[in-house]
Amino acid sequence: MSETVIKNVRARLVYNSRGEETIEVEVVVGNSVGRAAAPAGKSKGEKEVMYYPSGGVAEAIRIVNDEIADKLRGVDASRIENVEEILRRYDDTKNLKKIGGNTVYAVSLAASLAASNSMGIPLYKYLRIVNDFHLPIPLGNVIGGGRHAGKGAPDWQELLALPIEAPNIHLAIRANIMVHEYTGKLLDKTLGGFTLGKGDEGAYAPPIDTLKGLEILKEAVEHVSDELGFKIGVGVDVAASSLWDPKNKMYVYPTEGKKLSRKEQIERVVDWVERFNLVYVEDPMEENDMDGFVELNKMLNGKTLICGDDLIVTNPDILREAVAKKAVTALIVKPNQVGFITTSMETVRVAHTEKIVPVVSHRSGEPPEGHLAQLAIAWGGKILKSGIMGGERIAKANELIRVSEEIGGSRVARL
């Protein structure tokens, strides 16, 4: 039997970083094993595929063990397309309601890991779509708000650090950790004592509004930039869909006690991009307002990356539409938004062709593994959005360090 033929497939229930149930799949290829679990987002775009079938995680596990496993045994896993073709035949629905995107992703990633192990190559070479490898710039959540935090925290979901001029991956990772640490000190000083409470992604969740959070983060970033001698940028994930009230057509800011019109939301983003020299702005408008993205992108005219997450949900067709309208200059890549790894790869190929910056991203609920870092390298992701603190976040950073020993630590992407 070929060393790249699937011998066995097994699914089980495990838990993610939020303590939620998720599916883990184990695939045996030749004498090698691949194991992968699915993540879960709290801020989820309405255009994403379903995570699981109607019966939830338990039903997904049953389907894999009782039905999918038999169909995959004997399949040549030397190409991931062979594996995913079986899954596509099983679930040909548009939103993957029969099996779920998390199930597809866990099976596909586990098979990829098993096949790459059997072939004696790292995952990033097995799933490569680029000829020349580089290390993505780590993008980390420092101050959290919105659905990732709770009442009284900033209304924008993530205030981020991006070490855009780090000379090597070690210093890039270290810079984000230092910004996180110094921000904690500033919060403690500003608030007259702060418990250093954190949200879903290991970011601080302080009782301040977004503006104050940006002021503190900017001070921290400038302090660490001066200490390390290279530029670190401030970025944000507005997660505007979580603020949007569709009935009243307003953006609701509960911590501030304000409601902004569409025009006022655009004006606020432009103002804060200029005031804080933001280098990255994710989902500044709600997910169905592509024209709002277009307007904002035109107004800012290259001053910052305008990144679509809920707007595009890793869907290549939506990305093509966004490119045609000039709505974004970057996009979030979350494989479980579309389930199939090959669909994510198609989306990234479109991004490269159209000069859109791919940002390969974690979810707020993550398994404690570093595979996402390898996907970012395989696909030429210029940025890896994977958090800063917490075991499941550090796992991605450590994986970048390991791969840097093969391709060179100074091969960090440039924007």
Q: How far apart are CA 130 and CA 273, in angstroms?
A: 32
User: Over 80: is that where the pLDDT of 167 sits?
Assistant: yes
Instruction: Kindly state the average pLDDT of the residues 324-341.
Output: 97
Q: At residue 390, what is the residue type?
A: G
Higher-confidence position of 162 and 3: 162
Per-residue confidence band for 44, with pLDDT thresholds at 50, 70 and 90? confident
Kind plus residue range of the DSSP H or E element containing 297: helix 290-300
How many CB atoms lie under 10 A from the CB of residue 270?
18
Per-residue confidence band for 343, with pLDDT thresholds at 50, 70 and 90? very high
- Residues of the chain with pLDDT > 70, as a percent, come to 99
- The residue among 58, 144, 71, 141 whose CA lies nearest residue 102 is 58
Which residues lie closer than 8 Å to 312 by C-beta, 6 or more apart?
318, 319, 322, 328, 331, 332, 347
Higher-confidence position of 190 and 202: 190
Q: What is the pLDDT of residue 1?
A: 42
User: Over 50: is that where the pLDDT of 313 sits?
Assistant: yes
The owner of tokens 């995680």 is 57
pTM assigned to the model: 0.96
Which residues lie closer than 8 Å to 350 by C-beta, 6 or more apart?
316, 319, 320, 323, 356
Strands 233-237 and 158-162, by their bridges, are antiparallel
Reading the block at residue 146, the tokens are 């919105």
- Render pLDDT for 248-268 as a digit per residue (tens, 0 to 9): 999 999 999 999 999 999 999
Q: What is the pLDDT of residue 196?
A: 73
Per-residue confidence band for 149, with pLDDT thresholds at 50, 70 and 90? confident
Q: How far apart are CA 217 and CA 214, in angstroms?
A: 5
Which residue among the candidates 42, 44, 198, 334 is catalytic per the annotation? 334
Which residues, in sequence order, are bridge partners of residue 237?
158, 282
List the single range of 42-51, 55-64, 213-222, 294-303 with lowest mean pLDDT.
42-51
Q: What is the pLDDT of residue 264?
A: 98
Reading the block at residue 73, the tokens are 């045994």
How many CB atoms lie under 10 A from the CB of residue 101?
26
At 224, phi and psi to the nearest 5? -70, -35
User: Over 80: is that where the pLDDT of 197 sits?
Assistant: no
- Render pLDDT for 76-128 as a digit per residue (tens, 0 to 9): 999 999 999 999 999 999 999 999 999 999 999 999 999 999 999 999 999 99
User: Over 70: is that where the pLDDT of 180 sits?
Assistant: yes
Domains and CATH numbers, the chain: 6-120 (3.30.390.10), 137-407 (3.20.20.120)
- Residues of the chain with pLDDT > 90, as a percent, come to 93
Reading the block at residue 210, the tokens are 């977004």
Q: At residue 83, what is the residue type?
A: V
Per-residue confidence band for 43, with pLDDT thresholds at 50, 70 and 90? low
* Annotation marks residue 44 as catalytic: no
Mean pLDDT, all residues of the chain: 96
User: Over 90: is that where the pLDDT of 45 sits?
Assistant: no
- The residue among 12, 104, 87 whose CA lies nearest residue 50 is 104
Per-residue confidence band for 198, with pLDDT thresholds at 50, 70 and 90? confident
Instruction: Kindly state the average pLDDT of the residues 214-224.
Output: 98
Q: What is the pLDDT of residue 2?
A: 62
* Annotation marks residue 201 as catalytic: yes
Which residue among the candidates 26, 201, 286, 346 is catalytic per the annotation? 201
Which residues, in sequence order, are bridge partners of residue 330?
307, 357
Which residues lie closer than 8 Å to 301 by C-beta, 6 or more apart?
none
